[in-house]
Chain A
Amino acid sequence: MSTSPLSLLRSVIQQPNQPHPRNVKKVPYVELYSGRLQGVVSSGSDIERVYVSFIEANTGDYYCSTNNNRPCSGLGWRQCKHIEEMAEQAIYQYGSLEVARYLGAKTESNDPSWWAIRDALNGSQKRIPASEVFSRFLSYLRFLELPRHDGPAPEMTWFTSR
């Protein structure tokens, strides 16, 4: 039987590094979640509009629409620039190996480009409602609106991520 590293036996452990800060203005939200790389991309022309983009792991199927479910006009037989922007920021945040691993893209490189990952996946358009991803983004934003807690918070003693 293999044993755990000593540090894993402690109550307080060194947490892995947090994500690398991405360009939030361009891509306010991105995550590897529920078998998808998904995120929210700001429109380049309309400040009131955001696009919701995703790529499914393993199949490589993708889609992009506004938060009101209007399909992105840049989508055709290939992926639009929003998906590309989202993927670039995801690579910046998580590292390209992690993105490739999560999406199940088999590439030779130790630092695959987005093009290499995309070509290894080779999917097609698949519509999902934008609301699924968009509500994840709204929950994320809600953290900034939650009430502060003044006074003892002994439970936080367990947490010291870097």
Chain B
Amino acid sequence: MTTAWKDILEIPSAVQQSQALIDGFDRCFLVGFGRLGEEHLDTLHSLGRIFGPTPLGEAFAHGLEAIERSEFSETHFQRLAAARAALQGAQHDALLAQLSQTLGRPLHPSSVSQAEAPQAPVGLTEGTRQWLTEIALAGFPQLTRESLDPYLNTLEQLQQNPSSARLALLLTGFLEEISAALPIATPHLVPLRRWVDLWTRAMLLAIRTPSSPTATPVQGSFFPMGVDIHHHPFAVSYTVHGLLQEKDTPPRWIKTTHTSYKVDLLQDAETWQLFEEDPFLEALNAGKSAEIKQGQILDSGDLLPHPDVQIGKPYDALALAKAHLAAEAEKPVALLSPSPIDRHPVQLAFPVWLEGVTRKEDDASSLQLDGTPLRLAEERISLLSGLEQTDLQKVPSMIGLLRYDQDGYAFQPLALVKDAKKGKLIFAGQEASKQAAAKKSKVLEILKERSTRLLRK
């Protein structure tokens, strides 16, 4: 049975309701927690009531009372962050549940490993929470250079510590973004939802580095379906997405991610030279499968780095997409859910195959699926993907990820069908392995030369 796109893309009412609460919470970051008015406190109290007598509810209420008495200890702000994250986690779960139900995709539960993750030095995480608290007290529009600079030394140390890699990557981008926005002339130009997201995320990771999801051994054929690329001025990250076919089990949608720091000037194809050779990128470029002889996969669908891999045989990506990713697929791909701490609407990346897509005449970014509109997530398409604007505006068949943001669902393409008859697809990141091997870097080479000459002194 197929469900109409209209029903698939309908936003669950619980998600819409919690949106208003989150909006209210976020407005506190405009005035700053040091100067909250009645209406802000009312919003926070109603947020507290939602958590009621749960442990989080009590801690939240306690923290809120303290803030009303102008006691601004960072522990209270940890609770605020946890409450906001819990709401967004619930939003994520509601969206994922509805999608897996309407599209008939089995959803694998995920469990978290018992093993404790390595932790960053306490001084660094404490310093980070303290700084985040000061940001919250001041409110974003009131930030100045003086609010950022004292933290830079701590951040530099976090960047060098592998156990705080995720926190450091996040804060490096966040600081750079605030920095570029200074001086903030008009509060309504603050990307409030986004900045409070980043603040919340940083606070959670600064409490402790989360344990990773449970890992299990894996063996099978991996069929790459495209690369999702993320970057801020000082880091770049890529995730190869694809189907994993193991013996005797339904195919799973899995991914593998690598991240590197960079400098802001590195932004074109040269960026790929920051990374080591990657058999998954090579396989994608060659249009062949990657045979995983021995590897470890997390419950979240993340393949752990450096599995034993050989390049396999050519595969028919189009046929695989139709069989496993279409709305009416007979053998729908099994989905893996993120670790509880990573659940946030932004992380929703639901693989789908779309065909017969038309565009609105006056707005090529509004995809039409049997009359149901779906926004093209242009803000998620990296220039490094190699996907061409002209193709994005007209291709009727695509493989990609359903994404979610404040204004509803959006579609991020991973592969575009250039020629349906010949089965020719253009994948995001298809040229990456070639560009990584090009070895005629300009910016990187010169800066590295400067670096060896000057840094060692």
Contact = CB atoms under 8 A, between A and B. Distances in A.
Interface of A: 1-4, 6-16, 18-19, 21-22, 24-25, 28, 34, 42, 47-48, 50, 67, 137-162
Nearest to A22: B265
Nearest to B278: A150
A1 B170 CA distance: 32
B263 A139 contact: no
A25 B344 CA distance: 43
Contacts of B263: 140-141, 143-144
B347 A149 contact: no
A27 to B, nearest CB: 11
B234 interface: yes
B38 interface: no
Interface of B: 145, 152, 156, 159-160, 162, 165-167, 169-170, 173, 177, 180, 186, 188-194, 197-198, 201, 205, 212, 229-235, 237, 257-265, 267-268, 274-276, 298, 300, 302, 304-306, 338, 342, 344-347, 377-383, 405-407, 442-444, 446-448, 450-451, 453-455
A156 B406 contact: no
B237 A153 contact: yes
Contacts of A159: 173, 230-232, 235, 237
Contact of B259 (A11, A25, A142, A149): A149
Given A139-B156, A145-B455, A150 B305 contact: yes
B230 A157 contact: yes
Contacts of A11: 193-194, 197, 344-346, 405-406
B194 A160 contact: no
Contact of B188 (A3, A19, A21): A3
A78 B220 CA distance: 69
A3 B23 CA distance: 14
A79 to B, nearest CB: 23
B230 A160 contact: yes
Given A146-B261, A160-B379, A138 B455 contact: yes
Given A18-B233, A144-B261, A154-B338, A10 B189 contact: no
A151 to B, nearest CB: 6
B194 A141 contact: no
B454 A50 contact: yes
B379 A28 contact: no
Given A10-B194, A158-B198, 11 more contacts: A9-B407, A22-B265, A28-B447, A141-B450, A142-B455, A152-B257, A155-B201, A156-B237, A157-B230, A159-B232, A159-B237
A10 B446 contact: no
Given A12-B380, A144-B447, A160-B379, A153 B346 contact: no
B447 A141 contact: yes
Contacts of A2: 186, 188
B259 A156 contact: yes
A66 to B, nearest CB: 12
A50 B406 CA distance: 48
Nearest to B342: A154
B169 A149 contact: yes
B444 A144 contact: yes
A74 B265 CA distance: 29
A28 B450 contact: yes
A9 B267 CA distance: 26
20 contacts: A1-B188, A4-B188, A4-B191, A10-B193, A11-B344, A16-B180, A18-B233, A24-B446, A24-B447, A28-B446, A34-B145, A143-B261, A143-B262, A144-B448, A152-B298, A153-B169, A154-B338, A158-B230, A159-B173, A160-B229
